[in-house]
Amino acid sequence: MTAMSDAAVLESGDALAPADLTQQIRDAILGGEFAPHQRLIEADISERYAASRAAVRTALLNLANEGLVERLPNRGARVRAISIDEAVEIVEVRIGLETLCARKAAENVTDADAVELGRLRDEISAAVASGNLMEYSRLNQEMDRRIRDLSRHATATQLLERLRAQSARHQFRLAYHPGRAAQSAPEHIAIIDALLARDPDAAEAATRSHLEGIVGVLRGMD
């Protein structure tokens, strides 16, 4: 029989394993609970989540790998802040990776995939027409994930997922940029159409064009 720990704050009962803890902290960062540049002191987090310091340490190591936090030697971890310049760099890299994926994806579209893509296309149109930005943003992510899956390119997929996590905050801001949806929606439709046509060149061109548009908008943001 284990003694009940009354030090637990949010989680009652059992201590968190590092894997779960990593997810919790990740969500907290992505959700804005931990602000950029905020120091993540192991003891504090340990107490907050009722986990051992070793577990916190492991979790922070994981998140550092993903690029969500940065670790300064002997000076601890803090939430990594992605500057506009870095966000631009990330999108520039995404151009190289996503065009590759788009091209591969276009070669791998099965008839079943085509049906799914067609439905996604309609849902995107509907979301934009009804001005539902939240849904539109979700569908964009869904589409990007679908393309990564179709590409069957593990290396590019892995790198893209890392980059997406890092720039999640900017991605979010972008979605609510005035007039952004109106411009990007046709671009997304164009990418899907290229995939449906099994046309790698068109898929690459549409993807590149879309991402270059994002670079332009990012550069325009303060």
Partner DNA sequence: ATCCGCAAGATTGCCGACAATATTCGCACG
Partner DNA sequence: CGTGCGAATATTGTCGGCAATCTTGCGGAT
Binding site for DNA (CB under 7 A): 15, 17-19, 39-43, 51-55, 57-58, 71, 73-77
Cα Rg of the chain (Å, integer): 20
Q: Return the beta strands (E) in 112-221 as ranges.
A: none
Nearer residue to DNA within complex by CB, 39 or 219: 39
Q: 51 or 87, CB closer to DNA?
A: 51
Binding at 39: pick from DNA, a second copy, none (beta carbon under 5-8 Å per type): DNA
Distance of alpha carbon 138 from alpha carbon 70, whole angstroms: 28
CB nearer to a second copy: pick between 36 and 186: 36
Work out how close the CB of 54 gets to a second copy at its nearest, in angstroms, rounded to a whole number.
Answer: 10
Instruction: Please report how close the Cβ of residue 131 comes to a second copy at its closest, in angstroms.
Output: 34
141 C-beta neighbours (distance < 10 Å), count: 13
Contact 84, 214 (CB under 8 A): no
Phi, psi values for residue 39, rounded to 5°: -75, 140
For residues 16 and 92, what is the distance between their CA atoms, to the nearest angstrom? Answer: 38
User: Cα separation of 103 and 195, whole Å?
Assistant: 8
Taking the complex as a whole, how short is the minimal distance between the CB of residue 155 and DNA, in angstroms?
A: 24
Residues engaged in binding a second copy (CB under 8 A): 61, 65, 86, 89-90, 92-93, 95-97, 99-100, 153-156, 159, 163
* 39 or 119: CB nearest DNA: 39
Sheet holding 76-79, edge to edge: 39-40, 76-79, 69-72
Q: How far is the CB of 65 from DNA (least distance, A)?
A: 14
Q: Residue 76 or 213: which CB sits closer to DNA?
A: 76
The one-letter code for the residue type at 9 is V
- Report the partner that residue 53 touches, choosing among a second copy, DNA, none (CB closer than 5 to 8 A by kind): DNA
